[in-house]
A and B are shown apart, each in its own frame.
Chain A
Amino acid sequence: MWAMIVKEFRQLRRDRRTLAMMIVLPVLLLVVLGYAASFDVKTVMVAVAGPQSGLAAGLLKAPSFDITQSAPGRGRAWAQDQLRDSHDEMAVVTGGTRPLVLIDGSQLFAARAALTDLAGVRYHVGFTGTRPSSVSPKVVILYNPGLTTSDIMIPGLCGVVLVFVGTIITSLGVVRERQSGTLEQLAVMPLRPRDVFLGKIVPYFLVATVDLAIVLAVGIAIFGVPFRGSPATFALGALLFLFVTLGIGVLISSVSQNQGQAIQLAMMTLLPQVLLSGLIFPLTSIAAGVRWIAYFLPLTYFNEISRGVMLRAEPIAALWQPFVFLAVLGAVVVTGATLRFRGYLAPAGHRRGGGTAAPVPQEAGI
C-alpha cells in the first residue's frame, strides 16, 4: 500500500492543476458562496409616479425602499415600463382613489421583499384631504403573478445549457484532436485554419441550438413558463452568448493537454457563472466585493436578456447594455480563440515575429 501512496502523491505533485483545484477551489467557493449565497433583498428599488409622488416617496422608507425615480407627471404606463426595462423592481402610481403598487414578479426575491415590507407600510398610508382613515394600496404583481420559481429559473437554465454545450463539450472536442495526435494531421492537410476552426465549432453550435429549443419547449409546455417577448431578440441574444461560450471552449482546449484538464477548466468557468450570474442568487444580494465578478460573466448578461424577453417582453432597445457587453466579450474571446487555434495549426518553430533576430546556432558559421 505504501508504494501506491508514494506513487499517488508523486503524480499529484506533477498535476499542478488538480492540486490547485483541491486547495484553491474550496477556499474560493467558501468565500464566494459566503458572500454570494443570499436570497435577501434588503433594498427594493422603487419608481413613484402621479400627483402624490412626493407623499408616496416619503412613506417608503430607506433602507427597505430606495426611490430611484419620481415622476409626478406620469402615470401607470410609464411606471410599468420602468419595471419592464428593469430600471426598478417596484412602482407606485398615485392619483387614483387608492395608490397602485406594481411589483416586478420576475425579480422574485425583490418582489417577495417588497411584499413583506409593504405590509408594514400599508397601515400608515393615510391620504390627507380624502379620508381620515388609512387606505391600503392596490398591489399588482406583474410578469410572474404567482411568483413561481420555475418562471425565473428556466430562462436562466437556457443559458446554463448553452454554457454546458458551448464550453464543456466544445473544449472536449477540440482537445481530443490534440490528445489523439490528429491535430498534427489536420495541420498538414490542405485546410485553412478558419475551415478547421469553423468546422470544429459548427456542429456544437447546431447541437447547442437544438438543446436550447428543447429546453425552451419543455419549459413552456411543462412548466408553463411564458414567452412574452420577441423571439428574434431572444435568438440574437442566444447567438451572441453562444459565440462567447464556444470561444471560451476553444480557449480552454488550447491551454489543455488532455480532456481531464479541459473538463477541470470548463467546470471552473461554469461554477462561477451558475453561482454569480444572478441565476440563483439575485445580483443585488451579492456583496459588492464579489459582485464585480458577475459583470465579467457572459451568463449574467444572457440572464438579463432571456428573463427580460421571456417574462417582461422587454424590447431590444432597453436591453442594449447586455447586448453590447455580450458582443464585446464575444469579440475578445473569439479573437483570442482564433489566434490560439491558428498557432496550433501553423507550422511552429519560428514563432510569431519572425523578423526578430533569431538565435543563430553556433555551427551555422562553419
Chain B
Amino acid sequence: MREPETGPAGTNWGATELYVSHGRTVALRGVSLAAPAGQVTAVVGGDGAGKTTLLRCLAGSLGPDSGTVRRPPKERSGYFPASSGIYEDLTVAENLDFRANGYGLPRKAGRDRAAEFLERAGLSGVAGRLAGHLSGGMRQKLAVIAAMLHRPDLLVLDEPTTGVDPVSRSGLWWLIARAAAEGCAVVLATTYLDEAERCTSVLVLDGGVALASGTPDQIVSAMPGALRAVPAKPAGDEAALSWRRAGRWRLWDPAGLADSAEHAAGRPPAGSANGAIVPDLQDAVTVAALARQSGVLTGGAA
C-alpha cells in the first residue's frame, strides 16, 4: 500500500491526474482536484460521472491506477461514504463512541466531542435511539458528525445532502461550513447545483472527465457561447443543444457572444429582446455536458 503524501497543516490536499478503471469501465480519466484547507470544494456531475470514485481515492478506500493523491494520514482524514458508514443496530451515541475509539480519541475527549457535535447537529435528544430508527435527515447528520468527530484535516463527504429535506439540508450545511471555518479542507459530492454555488470551488465531472473547475463565477464566465430562451423545443440539430428548465426551453448557441457586461453587473437572468439569458452555474454545467456529448467543441476539457 502506498503511503499518502503528508505535509504540514494548511497543505493543499487533493489529487493530480487520477486514472481509475473498474474492470473495463474507465471511471476517471486524468482528473485533478485541489482541496485547500478552510474551503469547501464541491464535485458535481450526473450519475456515473465519477464523483464517488474520486472521493474514494481522496478518502483512501480506493487506490488509483495512476496519478497521485495528497491526503493526510488516515487518522487525520474523515470520510462519509455514499452508504453513510453508520451502524443501524447501534444507537447514535454508540456509533459516535465507536468512531471516537477507532480514531484513538481519549475517552473523556471523545465523550465531550460527541456531546458537542450532537448539540451542533440538534441530535442531543436522540442520543439513545438506534441509528436505524432515525429519519433520513437525522441519519445523514449523524453520519456527517461521525465523519468530522475527530476534527480531520481533510473531510470527504459523498452526497451528504441527497434525499434530505430542506431544513435538514441547511442544518447539514451549517455543520459543514463550520468544519471548514475551523480549518478543515472539505470535499463534497453533490447533485444539487445550488449547493455547489455556495462552495469555494467546484469541479464538474462528466463521464470520468473534468469538464470545468474553478470558483462558481469562473465556471460561469468561462462558459462558451451564449444562451437564449426559446418558446418550444427546437427542431433539427439545435434539439441536441437545448434543455428545459423551470418550464421554459433554453438553447445554447456555441458561436454566440456572451453578454459579459450584463453578467458582470449581476443582472437577474431575465429574457432580453432577443431572449438572451445570463447563465448561472446550472446552465454552465449543463452546457459543458452538452458540449461534450454533442462534440460541438472539439477542444475537450482543459
Contacts and interface: CB of A to CB of B under 8 A. Distances in A.
A86 B103 CA distance: 53
A184 B29 contact: no
A364 B83 CA distance: 32
Interface in B36-90: 56-57, 59-66, 73-75, 77, 79, 81-88
Given A181-B85, A358-B66, A361-B19, A187 B61 contact: yes
Interface string A330-360: 0000000000000000111110000000111
B30 A349 contact: no
A188 interface: yes
B16 interface: no
Interface residues of A, number: 21
A268 interface: no
Given A182-B87, A184-B83, A363-B29, A189 B62 contact: no
Contacts of A359: 21
Interface in A126-184: 180-182, 184
Nearest to A177: B87
A213 B20 CA distance: 51
B265 interface: no
Contacts of A361: 19, 21, 26, 29-30, 65-66
Contacts of B86: 182
Contacts of B61: 184, 187-188, 347
Contacts of B84: 181
A72 to B, nearest CB: 68
Nearest to B80: A185
B264 interface: no
A180 B102 contact: no
A187 B156 CA distance: 14
B302 interface: no
B104 interface: yes
A190 interface: yes
A348 B59 CA distance: 12
Nearest to B74: A190
Nearest to B4: A347
Most A CB contacts (10 A, CB to CB) among B26, B59, B61 go to B61
Interface centre among B30, B64, B83, B104 (most CB of A within 10 A): B83
B1 interface: yes
Contact of B62 (A182, A349, A358, A364): A349
Interface string B184-218: 00000000000000000000000000000000000
Interface string A284-297: 00000000000000
A185 B19 CA distance: 23
A348 B21 CA distance: 11
A364 B19 contact: yes
Given A180-B88, A361-B26, A364-B19, A347 B81 contact: no
Interface residues of B, number: 34
Given A188-B77, A190-B104, A363-B29, A348 B87 contact: no
Contact of A349 (B29, B63, B75, B79): B63
Contacts of A350: 63-65
Contacts of B74: 188-190
A207 interface: no
Main secondary structure of the interface of A (DSSP, over half): loop
A189 B78 CA distance: 8
A251 B156 CA distance: 31
Nearest to B300: A366
A187 B75 CA distance: 12
Contacts of B30: 361, 363-364
Contacts of A28: none
Contacts of A349: 20, 57, 62-65
Contacts of A358: 65-66
Interface centre among B20, B57, B85 (most CB of A within 10 A): B85
A184 B143 CA distance: 13
Contacts of B73: 190
Contact of B79 (A188, A346, A348): A188
Contacts of A184: 56, 61, 79, 81, 83, 85
Contacts of B103: 189-190
Contacts of A360: 19, 66
A267 interface: no
A121 interface: no
A55 interface: no
A168 to B, nearest CB: 18
A221 B83 CA distance: 49
Contacts of B83: 180-182, 184
B85 A182 contact: yes
A106 B102 CA distance: 50
Nearest to B104: A190
A358 B65 CA distance: 8
A361 B102 CA distance: 37
A347 B29 contact: no
14 contacts: A180-B88, A181-B84, A181-B85, A182-B86, A184-B85, A185-B85, A188-B61, A189-B102, A190-B74, A190-B103, A350-B64, A358-B65, A364-B19, A364-B30
Given A181-B83, A188-B60, 7 more contacts: A181-B84, A182-B87, A189-B74, A190-B104, A349-B20, A349-B57, A363-B29
